[in-house]
Every structure is written in structure tokens, then in C-alpha cells.
Amino acid sequence: MQAAEIDEYFPVVDIDSSALEAARMLAEHSLPGIVVVTADGQLYAVLPASEVVRFIVPSYVQDDPLLAGVLAESMADRAAETLGGKTLRELLPQHQLTLSVANADDTIIEVAAMMGRLRSPLIAVMKQGRLHGVITASRLLAMALKCGLTEQASTAVVTGLKTEWASL
Amino acid sequence: MQAAEIDEYFPVVDIDSSALEAARMLAEHSLPGIVVVTADGQLYAVLPASEVVRFIVPSYVQDDPLLAGVLAESMADRAAETLGGKTLRELLPQHQLTLSVANADDTIIEVAAMMGRLRSPLIAVMKQGRLHGVITASRLLAMALKCGLTEQASTAVVTGLKTEWASL
């Protein structure tokens, strides 16, 4: 099972679109992250949700996390205002861009190892230089369990676990 | 707005439960991670989905990520079999346990800064030594946008963006 066989469609956002819109899209659909592309469709960044959350953290707090603790609650509550009118392009250079990108022919274990190493819940899959799809952590687990357990399922019948495993 | 005001109920899994069940739960419900507790209800670990994915990565590949690339595809496809019969307790010591834990009175910015720093899409909130709830990245963004934009919303009417913002 190769990356290009298990990746899926995933919404992408243009780098010149509003950061507020991107954050809202993530929040409304509980996405594990966002995929940012340039105007000509080239992949620019794969941002885990935890990275998008940093959009609302003032840059001086990002530079010195201890400052978060002394920020007044009233200021903290208004932090999202910093997003108003900003595009992703304006915000992204302040953020670390981990390139969570796999090749179409990478195995499920290569993708899993990359996810763990980069602590990224989503990996973009490239095929012939273009974005082919995205593999989320839940998609990867679902495919791994479905695939790897075919053999165990038959064992499970013997050990009386059939009902439990049959739900896969 | 403090952490305890925005945290939510989140399913927890017992440390002695099957790792397979935990992985399946995450996959089926597209959870951003899992919260592991001990038999007496104490918080043991907060695992981002990307960390749960590592359950299916053989330990020798975790020790040397380059090995993932040379693992035969047939072996990669059967990697999930390693989960069979293992409990979370057996698997967790092999994994790094970042303590993504906030205090009940932490501000939304403190939680956001912690999420970004730990690259964790979920943070457990403790109150008086007990698990009070969990804040996911999408929940945090939703609350930050709702809260911080009250003031901007009135400006938005003027700039003709009322319809768009009203959906918040």
C-alpha cells in the first residue's frame, strides 16, 4: 500500500487568502491542519492545527513563551484580533514551515514514521511534482488497521474475538 | 477567558486497554489525539494523533527512521499487526510523553502558546489535581475567533463584511 493509494482530497487555501478565514475553516470543520498553496497551485506549506493556533499568539510571546503567563486576560481574549486583515503570506514567515511531504510511492510506514518525527497530523503526498492528496493521521490508522488485520481477523475467530474485530 | 471555561469533555482510555482499540477509536472518530488515564482516574498521558500513529511503526524503525525506506511494502502493510494484544501500558514507555497539560486558570494565549510549542493538537486542563476537560486546537480557535472578534464585527458592518462575519 503506497501513499498515493491512501491519500484523500483535502481543502487547500491560497497563500494570499485571509488568515482569519483559514483559522475559521479549521475551527468549523475540526480539520487536523491546513494545506497552503500558491496562486499557481504549488504546495507552499502543510500546517498542523497546533501551528495555526499560533497565529493568535502575539509574536513577542512566541519569541518568549514565559510572557504568555503575564499577559493580562483581557489582552489574551482579544488576541484573535491580530488576525484581522492579515493574509497567510504575511503570517507564515514567522512560523516554522515543516515540510510534511511524502512521495506517491512511500509506504504506509514511511508516512507513519514521518508523522511521528514531525509531530504532524497530516502529510501532503506529491506525485510528479504536484499535490496528489493528503493523508491524515486518522486516515492512516484506519487504513493500517483495515489492511494489517486481515490476517489477524481469522485468528480472532479462533480466540473468540470475532465480534470485536468484525466491526473493522 | 480561562482554560477551564473553554475545555470540553473528551473520551479517555485506560492505560491497560488495548492499543488496537485506542488506535481504532482515534481513526473512527477522527480524534486529534487520545487522553490516557490510570485505573484510579489519574492523567497518564496526552497523545497527539501523530504519536498514536507511531504505534504501528516498528521500534527499530523509530530508532532509525532511514530504515522505513528500506522496509518491504509487504512488511509495511502488516505493521498494524504489532498492535495485536498489546496494551497502551506496554507501548507507551517507547514513546515520548509530552505533558500537554494546562491549569484551569491559564489564559487562552497560554494554552495556544503551549500547543504551538509542543506541537500538540490537544491540551488537558487540570483543576485541583484532577482532569477537568480537554481543549482541542479547533475548539481553541473557535473560542478565540468568537471572543476576539466581537469588536471587529462592528467594524465589519461598515466595511460591508457583515454577512461573512455574522456566521461566527
Q: What is the pLDDT of residue A64?
A: 81
Q: What does chain A come to in residues?
A: 168
Whole-angstrom Cα distance, residue B38 to residue B16?
Answer: 8
pLDDT of A31 reads 95
In order along its 168 residues, chain B shows pLDDT tens digits of: 899 999 999 999 999 999 999 999 999 999 999 999 999 988 999 999 999 999 888 888 877 878 888 887 777 777 777 787 899 998 887 655 658 999 999 999 999 999 998 999 999 999 998 999 999 999 999 999 887 654 444 333 333 322 333 332
Tell me the count of A-B CB pairs closer than 8 A.
240
Looking at beta carbons, which residues of chain A come within 8 Å of B110? 68-69, 71, 76
Residues of chain A contacting B68 with CB distance shorter than 8 Å:
107, 109-110, 112-114
Greatest alpha-carbon pair distance for chain A in Å reads: 61
Sheet holding A33-37, edge to edge: A12-14, A33-37, A43-48
Mutate to test the interface with B, among A34, A51, A107 (most CBs of B within 10 A): A107
How far is B101 from chain A, CA to nearest CA, in Å? Answer: 14
ipTM of this complex prediction, to 2 decimal places = 0.83
Q: How far is CA A34 from CA A26, A88, A106, B29, B54, in A?
A: 7, 11, 21, 19, 21
| DSSP conformation class of B13 | E
Rg (CA), chain A: 20
CB distance A148–B57 less than 8 Å?
no
Is B113 in Cβ contact with A65 (below 8 Å)?
yes
pTM of structure? 0.83
* Contact (CB<8Å) A50/B81: no
Question: Which of A141, A152, A157, A165 is most worth mutating to test chain B (most B CB atoms within 10 A of its CB)?
Answer: A141
Task: Please check whether residue B135 is in contact with residue B6, taking contact to mean a CB–CB distance below 8 angstroms.
Answer: yes
Mutation pick from A67, A106, A118, A138 vs chain B, by most beta carbons of B within 10 Å, is A138
CB–CB contact B53 A120 (8 Å): no
